[in-house]
Structure 1
Amino acid sequence: MLTALFLLAAGALAGVIGTAGGITSLVAYPALLAVGVPPLAANVTNSVALLGSGASSALRGRRDLVGHGPTLRRWAPLTVGVSTAGALLLLVTPAHVFDDVVPFLVATGSVLLLVQPWIDRRRGAARMGRASAAASVSAVSLYNGYFGAGAGVLMIAVMLLDGEPVLHRANALKNVLLLAADVVPAVLFAVSGAVVWAFAWPLGVGAVVGGLIGPSVARRVPQTPLRIGIAVCGFVLAGYLLIAA
């Protein structure tokens, strides 16, 4: 019961941070590690648990998607296909290999969290060609299926560089694309038997609640200290995982 309450609170915090522009996995993933879930199983469980949070985020931003049907039809099949390939790569990766790689993935997520304001300020400063955009969407999707922490920041950057100049619309596109991309991997993870369901449900319920109350909370919390604090915790976790590996 104490573990479930801890994960419920961690999920709620992750959901709030996600609505504030942070990276939910940098809270949810360490919470699973803290209760004793091995890194590979924690990553899989985290992906499944946060699916509901992604759905609520996508629904919340549906008004910002008016007129963006062509963009979604262009990128959704590629995002879904390559994310599925990333999930399959994760499932066939030996656990010890993932243990060696995950510190660098966590550190990457922390870096992305720190540079997100810079990415936001650069919106509209450049424009990618169609081939570059397809390659970028593919790279982000592969990373999303394999690990995912920070994939949202990267996808927002790609949408901005692909021609959507408004940040909140790029964020809405990201929410829908990554939600679509996460469904098949979640099914694969569930079928694989790697999901720790006893820990997935409280984390998932908390994330949905956090996503719903997040906008109200985010308006009252200073964003820069929160962003820096989470990133520092991410770097500390990456160092610990590297030493443990």
Structure 2
Amino acid sequence: MCNLYSFGSPGRVMDAANKALGGEVKLGAQAGNLAEDYVGADSDGPVIRAAGDGYEIDVLRWGFPPTSPKDKDGKWEPPITNIRNLKSRWWTDVNREYLYEARYRCLVPFSAFAEPVSGKGRENAWFETTKAQGFFAGIWRPWEGDTRLVPVEGKARRQRAQAALELYAFLTTEPNGIVKPIHPKAMPVILTDPADLRDWMSGGEESLRLQRPLGEKGIMLSSA
């Protein structure tokens, strides 16, 4: 499961999105200081979503709320960063509107993503697309609660506190022949074709057919 990725130049991301989506992409309220960086689970990353008659690129928190805030031992559960089983009640019922409605669709730009190497501890393999720009098929939602780590005034580290956040996650699928030798369980759903990007952003059940692995010619091992 992908819990770490990087994104490249914001200018390149906006240019690629403008060309693919056929609508103007503007900077959102939180994206003014956006720069190339890495994104890990439960940290902030850029997404592209609908805004008015066009689109915006803004910074949201990576990870949907878990099915239960704490496990049987009282430990905090991690956020849901990857979405695989779209037939589960968690998505068909509890989070249905976020999965199907166009206003909650988003594209998550990336330059490379990591998958853990089995049997080698925390070692990762990195992959990137052979296209100029790749996007994960994502969804976002508003959320308010106290189970997430947020900046608290006077504290050096983030604390668990009541907060209103905008969250995102992205779809995964079975791995293609490039990713499978490294990570046989899954890979992110990657969109590079402009028609697929527009289709995903239109919402609806039919667009869920895009939950499929990217062709092997579209991806390669990276040195990120």
- Structures share fold, TM-score greater than 0.5: no
Point out the structure with the larger helix share.
1
* TM-score in terms of structure 1 length: 0.24
Q: Structure with the greater relative contact order (CA < 8 A, sep ≥ 6): 1 or 2?
A: 1
Point out the structure with the larger strand share.
2
* TM-score in terms of structure 2 length: 0.26
